[in-house]
Amino acid sequence: MPAIARSFPPHRVSVADPAQVIDERALVLDAQQGDEPSFAQLVRRHQRRAYAVARAIVLSHEDAEDAVQDAFLHAWRALDRFRPEQPFGAWLHRIVANAALDVTRRRRIRDADELTDVHASPFRDPAEARNLRERLAGALATLPTRQRAVIVLHDVEGFRHAEIGAMLAIPEGTARSDLHHARAQLRRQLEDLRSAP
């Protein structure tokens, strides 16, 4: 198993280079034959987006790192089951989403206390006022895990409902419903901000 960096990049997603998309299939095929440098290159190409997916589901940077680490390890072990005609990123993001949900379940079992990282938020806009970030983080933290994941994956990361459904193993209609309910709850909690001058 190639070494995987434990410190993932900040929550910014880069647009894939068309040349990378063209040769990704070759990297996958090489990695399936046990070529660790090819898998390491796949990790480098997808770690930012993988972190963003995990961060949409969990509430802390540390949990997102754990989920991504677990996901890449699982992907390496399951690589022989991947069909190279599929998009590698979509396959990997499903694994990341499941790993993040597992981390969330483990944390809930291990620690019933409220998370103390009130500043943790998938929204990292430095121009926002500190109060707004804290309010938004607090509002997101009150959402059920799946609703929080859906709203961030859709509204921040730009995934479509069908993609979110595949990642979270829920029907597309459930993803739509979760998005609707999450938005409604956030609107209620942050209504005073909308009416502020």
User: Mind listing the pLDDT tens digit for each residue in 83-140?
Assistant: 877 888 889 988 999 899 888 877 765 544 433 344 444 444 454 457 777 787 788 8
CA separation, residue 91 to residues 38, 60, 193 (Å) = 17, 24, 39
Q: Is residue 19 part of a domain?
A: yes
The domain boundary residue, chosen from 68, 97, 117:
117
Counting DSSP H helices and E strands in the chain, the numbers are 9, 0
Q: Is residue 110 part of a domain?
A: yes
Q: Is residue 36 part of a domain?
A: yes
Question: In terms of domains, do 108 and 35 share one?
Answer: yes
Query: Which CATH number does the domain housing residue 174 bear?
Result: 1.10.10.10
Q: Which two tokens stand for residue 68?
A: 């991504």
Q: Which two tokens stand for residue 177?
A: 């419903």
Quote the domain boundaries for residue 58: 10-117
Question: In terms of domains, do 22 and 101 share one?
Answer: yes
What total number of domains does the chain contain?
2
Query: Which CATH number does the domain housing residue 61 bear?
Result: 1.10.1740.10
Long-range contacts of 156-162 (CB under 8 A, 24+ apart): 156/52, 156/56, 156/122, 156/123, 157/13, 157/49, 157/52, 157/53, 157/56
| DSSP state, residue 58 | S
Angle at the Cα of 33 from the Cα atoms of 29 and 39, rounded to 5 degrees: 65
Q: Is residue 156 part of a domain?
A: yes
Mean pLDDT by 10 residues, the chain (197 residues): 49 46 82 92 92 87 91 93 85 91 75 41 51 79 88 83 87 91 87 61
Prediction pTM value: 0.59
CB 90 within 8 A of CB 164: no
Q: Is residue 50 part of a domain?
A: yes
Q: Is residue 190 part of a domain?
A: yes
| DSSP state, residue 197 | -
Side-chain half-sphere CA neighbours of 161 within 13 A: 10
pLDDT on residue 109: 59
pLDDT on residue 86: 81
Q: Is residue 3 part of a domain?
A: no
| 16: phi then psi, degrees, rounded to nearest 5 | -70, 140
Longest dimension (CA), the chain: 60
Question: In terms of domains, do 99 and 138 share one?
Answer: no
- How many Cβ atoms from other residues are within 10 Å of residue 107's Cβ? 17
Q: What is the distance of C-alpha 157 from the center of its chain? A: 9
pLDDT on residue 10: 40
Question: In terms of domains, do 15 and 74 share one?
Answer: yes
Question: In terms of domains, do 78 and 134 share one?
Answer: no
pLDDT on residue 7: 46
pLDDT on residue 20: 54
Question: In terms of domains, do 106 and 22 share one?
Answer: yes
Question: In terms of domains, do 100 and 132 share one?
Answer: no
